[in-house]
Amino acid sequence: MVMSKRQESANHVQAAGARRRAHFDTGAISTLISSYAASLVTVLVLGPVNPVRLILVAILFALNITSLTRVHVRLASRPRLTDYALFAVNVAPYAYLLYPRPPAWLVIPAIPLALFIIEAARGRGRGALANAAGTALIASAYLPFYALMGGVVSIAVLYMALTWVAYHAFSAVYVEGKLPFRSVKPWLSSVLWFTVMPPLAALAIIHLSWYFTMPLIEPSIRAVHALGEGKIDRELRARIRRIGFGSLAESLVLAATLLALIALYGH
């Protein structure tokens, strides 16, 4: 009977760990891929196109996609010395953006990075805030990729980056709010979205065109629905998987819409 309970506990821990790894892998990798693809398309549309820079950033992206997403999990729990070294190798190329002086837009990835580091240092690297900050941080790679490719950060590009990061932060908080073992509620994602959405809409209307407010409509509808939603109480894995696939599809539509607007009106 004792062995049975121990085995049951071990199986539960192993299954929970597998769920966390699977959730992180699919979400982080898809977000990183879509962020890189969006930055590449933006450069190809707006220019200038520098083949050497494109190749170097492609190598950096390949390094990030194969190792950074893995080391992120270990840094959030029980990091080893080799994990810190691998993390340094992954982020060192981004230091190029600090020369000759850091651009103001670096505050966009700096905020989720600081939140994640603080939560990890407090031993809460697997918590809801750390997960949401990590997702936003990966989405914020859009701007560094774009700048490293040689792109010029215009108001339109900045708007896309802010909307892209805000959307992924909103989606991450929504998913965390649906989990029954989290203290946060789904409506918290609505509060987040309706906090960042008005400034985004104002930026679009004042400095770009009202057309740029169109990508904000679908997330706003989702945020309204989330106000009345509760926790998932059954079929947790299947329903979270459906939410994940749905969010991925919606993020791709968002990216396509933003890129189309940049191509038409962002020059």
- pLDDT value at residue 72: 66
Specify the pTM: 0.86
Q: Which residues contact 223 (CB under 8 A, 6 or more apart)?
A: 170, 189, 190, 193, 194, 197
Spatial CA neighbour of 111 closest among 92, 139, 85 = 139
Judged by DSSP in three states, 154 sits in coil
| Residue numbers of the chain with a pLDDT score lower than 70 | 1-25, 69-70, 72-79, 267
pLDDT on residue 73: 66
Q: Encoding tokens for residue 193?
A: 């979205």
Q: What does the pLDDT read at residue 25?
A: 52
Tens of pLDDT, residue by residue over 113-158, are 899 888 877 877 778 898 899 899 999 999 999 999 999 999 999 9
